[in-house]
């Protein structure tokens, strides 16, 4: 752990490195809990019904909250994705991965993805919540 990134991915000995997430993360610092972010802009408007586009916007919303707290994507230690259609999520994998790399920047995050029946906002296809640890 260094001063800029108080988190470190954990990989048990002999386990293969997972693709797109970390098995565990240790961190120390100030904790930031980010509520579920969906694919609408700051004014509550959806610009697309495309899964990849909504995921990009939800990730940007997460990044905007991080920035407001003085952090960046490097500070995220845990993320949970709620998706309304796992096939649509998987089909958008390349687009989602590109957005993730551009907005968040790394995959050393303990992540979970869950398919749900629906989200509170009917038009939403994905909701992402995150936990970040900011340097003390």
pLDDT in tens, 35-73: 999 999 999 999 999 999 999 999 999 999 999 999 999
Positions in the chain short of pLDDT 50: 2
Tally the domains of the chain: 1
Domain assignment present for 2: no
CA proximity to 81, closest of 43, 44, 50, 51: 51
Domain assignment present for 72: yes
* CATH code, domain carrying 114: 3.30.1330.40
Q: What is the pLDDT of residue 4?
A: 62
pTM for the whole thing? 0.90
Domain assignment present for 95: yes
Q: For residue 92, what are the domain limits?
A: 7-134
| Secondary structure, 3-state, 39-93 | CECCCCCECCCCHHHHHHHHHHHHHHHHHHCCCCHHHEEEEEEEECCHHHHHHCH
Domain assignment present for 1: no
């Amino acid at each position: 752990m260094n001063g800029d990134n108080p988190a470190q991915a954990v990989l048990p000995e002999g386990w293969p490195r997972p693709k797109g997430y970390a098995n565990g993360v240790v961190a120390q610092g100030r904790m930031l809990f980010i509520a579920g972010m969906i694919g609408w802009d700051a004014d509550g408007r959806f610009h697309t019904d495309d899964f990849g586009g909504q995921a990009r916007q939800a990730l940007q919303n997460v990044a905007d909250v991080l920035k407001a707290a003085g952090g960046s994507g490097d500070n995220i230690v845990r993320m949970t994705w709620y998706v309304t259609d796992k096939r649509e999520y998987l089909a958008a994998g390349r687009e989602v991965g590109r957005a993730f790399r551009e907005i968040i920047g790394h995959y050393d995050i303990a992540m979970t993805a869950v398919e749900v029946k629906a989200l509170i906002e009917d038009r939403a296809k994905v909701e992402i919540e995150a936990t970040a640890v900011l340097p003390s």
